[in-house]
Chain A
Amino acid sequence: DSGVTQTPKHLITATGQRVTLRCSPRSGDLSVYWYQQSLDQGLQFLIQYYNGEERAKGNILERFSAQQFPDLHSELNLSSLELGDSALYFCASSFPLGGSVNNEQFFGPGTRLTVL
């Protein structure tokens, strides 16, 4: 158990819909990262937040957005869902010095999103 929790575990929805994925980092970790893992694209970094502020952006679509709240939990919002958005979405957390990504990250169990 990494100490990172994600809800829900599974999500099934229809195209065009909007969903919110939630992540609670390990106690004391200031950084939260979101990743998308699909069969054809592998594990792709989406976005990083550090202490409430966006720190780094990866291959995140404009239809997707995220935020980190004062209690450090984070939400990833996916809207106008398409079939190709079906994937495993992971959250990871770390306590990086200066907000750098160059530290060990602890991964949550993931949310499996299925878009029908």
Chain B
Amino acid sequence: QEQLQESGPGLVKPSETLSLNCNVSGYPISSGYYWGWIRQSPAKGLEWIGSLQYGGKTYYNPSLQSRITISVDKSRNQFSLKMTSVAAADTAIYYCARDSSWPHIPQGAFDLWGQGTMVTVSS
């Protein structure tokens, strides 16, 4: 059964780096699709962070691009998000998801989601 599962710290201090992993099970991450991160907060609603295709292009939200890196580890069948210099505004539920728009440009057709992980930025 295809599943995604996020992992990472629930609490991050302001100005530090947030690191999240998404474990993919039941589907090889190198076999197509885009793999992405989305976050959700009461203030901003659903916000796309970025998506990548294994061995291909990575797309980032322009408003976050300077602070984020999405990478993939084929050997572990997982992908990751790093966000630097976090602030209170980055407090949100973070989801990893699979975008079925591939091989076209990612259009936000996320057909498989993790359960989400709450990240709070606070000292």
Are A and B subunits of one complex?
no
B binding-site residues for A, Cβ under 8 Å: none
A binding-site residues for B, Cβ under 8 Å: none
